[in-house]
Amino acid sequence: MTAHPEAPETATATYVFAVGRRLDPAVLSGLTGLAAGFPVRGLTFGPLTAVVQHVPADEFTQEAWQERLSDRAELERCARAHHEVVTRAATCGPTVPLALATLYRGDDRARQALAEDTHRFAATLDRVEGHAEWGVKVWVPAAAPKRPETAAAPSLRGSGGAGRAYLERKRGLRQAREHHHERALRIAEDVDAALRRLATAARRLRPHTPEMTGEKNRVQVLNAAYLVTAVRERELRDAAETWRRRTGVDVEVSGPWVPYSFVGEG
């Protein structure tokens, strides 16, 4: 490893945020990145440019990363810093974001390793140019509306019609829950199918569980990402709003994002 000129006694590694074709160094000005005191900068390899930063090697070992990633607050800080750099770089043109914690033993090793993937990077940049990622989440109420209970459950022994009526009510509630679940799944499929027709590519992601979302009154039934050209972004938002009005479910649209969900394809 080579020492950073501003910190001659500190051994450094090279952290890579993203790869693109065009990079204006001015857009990276003022970014802290993952390590204060080390500028975020460009590193060319062939026709492409990586967005990189020197980081103190002893603070970014595999063991240090494992400890960092097990600390939720620290993980969120690193993820936000990584995303901020990628987003800023993407203002210069199509960008391939690299995974969190992509590290090499110096610039020369980073350049060599990245150059081996030049073909893949170039193909991905061609595919995402002129596109952005949009996220769509569909939520439904956590349970079907309950019928009001007019009386406590009767004893079934010798209760005659009252017992049968109680069992009918229970059966009806179970059927209502099943219908609610089936309808939720149909809506998720219909929304996804409609939005896929507007997208160049789409990915279904695992819906977040109530434990992850902290939501008690609604359930996520669709969590998807769509790669969309700029000219179709309005159509996607309008389509999501149409489905919200038509079905009464919550349809959340977020974006535009750097196409993280689509850089590993092809």
- Give the whole-number percent of the chain exceeding pLDDT 90: 63
pLDDT of 150 above 50: no
pLDDT of 235 above 60: yes
Residue 107 tokens read as: 């610039």
Residue predicted with more confidence, 123 or 217? 123
Record the pTM: 0.79
> 23-64: per-residue pLDDT in tens?
999 999 999 999 989 999 999 999 999 999 999 998 888 888
> 186-199: per-residue pLDDT in tens?
999 999 999 999 99
Provide the H-helix boundaries in 137-266.
161-196, 210-213, 233-247
Angle at 89 between CA 86 and CA 94, to 5 degrees: 95
Range 205-229 average pLDDT: 88
Q: Cα separation of 194 and 226, whole Å?
A: 11
Cα 152 from chain centroid (whole Å): 47
Contact assessment for residue 2 and residue 107, using Cβ atoms and an 8 Å cutoff: yes
The model's confidence at residue 69, banded by pLDDT at 50, 70 and 90, is confident
Q: Cα separation of 38 and 108, whole Å?
A: 17
Cα 56 from chain centroid (whole Å): 28
Q: What is the per-residue pLDDT for 166?
A: 61
